[in-house]
Amino acid sequence: MQKTLRLGLAGLGTVGGGVLELLARHAGLVTARAGKTVEVTAVSARDKMKKRAHDISRLRWFDDSVALAKSDAIDVFVELMGGEGDPAKAAVEAALASAKPVVTANKALLAHHGAALARLAEAKGVALNFEASVAGGIPIIKTLREGLAGNRVGKLFGIMNGTCNYILTKMANEGRSFADVLKEAQALGYAEADPSFDVGGFDTAHKLAVLTSLAFGSEVDLASISIEGIEAITLADIGNASDMGYKIKLLGVAVAHAEGIEQRVHPTLVPKGSPVADTDGVFNAVVVKGDFAGDLMLEGRGAGAHPTASAVVADIVDIARGNWRPAFGVPAADLKPYRAAPTKAHEGGFYVALELHDRPGAVAAIARILADEKISIESIVQRGKQEKDAPRATAPFILITHDTLETAMRAALSRIETDGHVASRPRMIRIERL
């Protein structure tokens, strides 16, 4: 039996550095759990001369990650470069084609090419492991693929982006604007210089696409996800939600219906006191509803060098032990074609914020439209006038609906927007009762 598992590490950024640190600090522990020595023997990155916290002078250097992936000098290829296309895609494909197991933290690669890569891995009889691709150190992939193997999952949802959760938490706790907190998050390194991938909901969508495939045995389908970010959330929305007993979180949600699968990413009102509502700051939380296990929630740090490296090394140890399984829990050939549920399948409550012209009949008109669409109101908050001296003053009108179909809610809002009683476009946020 080979006594050393040789790793080829492509990408020496935050996560790559974390993997080097973990393997150095816990060498004995990892060896005991893997049953053999695990060490990085070759690396690849964009800049060989860049100063790094870890000495890589004794490691074999490859300028080309594809050449590293094919090299006979390694047993396992660890891809930590990121990105949906090349060089990450070409390198992973090269490793698998060479019958080398792959460990990756690349959510974008999996969201776009997961099924094809899984087929290639199975054809070569090697592992494609990606625990670190979703929720950092939280073992949600193993939970879905292994721990809940005997369950039929009906729904999963959660906070999957620490940047958005940090921003919404700061806005709620400190009464600061989205723009102000975003600048702070960028200064602290929680948000990129271009934060649109995070705050626009796209990062969460990539992670949700991977989890949906694992949970429901379907092909990965990123394009079918309805995506809304948090850019439009105001302090007024956060204050109104709080007054009504809710917090606002960016959630990724996937639900299995008889008609198909529903996937959505959007700001969501969640009840105060619920575990998801209490997940603040840069933490992530994922809830899975299994028919036998019931509701499970996993919470922890969703990003960063140490949590993500922990997940990467867990996948490496599985390979060292010889633990092999299909990437998405079932053979890739058995993944069902993705079938999207119609929008009408989504049923739930809604928060609606309206800026009403403060004149007789406005509220009655809104109530009539909602009644026409068979939407009942759970609670209402009507604030004072915003422009006391204006001839056509407006007043905020906030309502929470009982559960209703989204198609009905959107039809009502379309009518409200054009009936002449509102001064601006209505704002709608979905509610998850949990």
d(CA 84, CA 169): 30
- Residues 367-387: what's their mean pLDDT? 83
How many C-beta atoms lie closer than 10 Å to residue 391's C-beta?
5
The domain segmentation of the chain, as residue ranges, is 4-133, 140-301, 346-431
CATH code assigned to 4-133: 3.40.50.720
Task: Please give the CATH topology (third level) of the domain spanning 140-301.
Answer: Dihydrodipicolinate Reductase; domain 2 (3.30.360)
Q: Are 248 and 429 in contact (CB under 8 A)?
A: yes
d(CA 126, CA 118): 10
pLDDT of amino acid 49: 85
Three-state DSSP state, 371: helix
**CA pseudo-torsion sign 55, 59, 63, 69:** negative
Task: Please give the CATH topology (third level) of the domain spanning 346-431.
Answer: Alpha-Beta Plaits (3.30.70)
Shortest CA distance to 141 belongs to which of 220, 83, 212, 92? 212
User: Does 207 qualify as catalytic in the annotation?
Assistant: yes
Please check the confidence at residue 231 and state whether its pLDDT lies above 90. yes
Beta bridge partners of 379: 400
Task: Quick: pLDDT tens for 106-144.
Answer: 999 999 999 999 999 999 999 999 999 999 999 999 999
- Residues 327-347: what's their mean pLDDT? 88
393: confidence class by pLDDT, cuts 50, 70, 90 = confident
Token pair in block for residue 65: 């990650």
pLDDT of amino acid 193: 85
Three-state DSSP state, 362: helix
**Half-sphere exposure (Cβ direction) of 433: Cα atoms closer than 13 Å:** 9
H helices, E strands: number in the chain: 14, 17
Please check the confidence at residue 7 and state whether its pLDDT lies above 60. yes
Which of 89, 100, 107, 207 is catalytic? The answer is 207
Task: Quick: pLDDT tens for 87-97.
Answer: 999 999 999 99
347: confidence class by pLDDT, cuts 50, 70, 90 = confident
Q: Are strands 260-271 and 294-301 parallel, antiparallel or unpaired?
A: unpaired
Q: Are 284 and 308 in contact (CB under 8 A)?
A: no
351: confidence class by pLDDT, cuts 50, 70, 90 = very high
pLDDT of amino acid 390: 47
**Element spanning 78, H or E:** strand 76-79
pTM of the predicted protein model: 0.93
Please check the confidence at residue 161 and state whether its pLDDT lies above 60. yes
Beta bridge partners of 248: 269
Please check the confidence at residue 322 and state whether its pLDDT lies above 70. yes
Query: Tokens 């990467």 map to which residue?
Result: 312
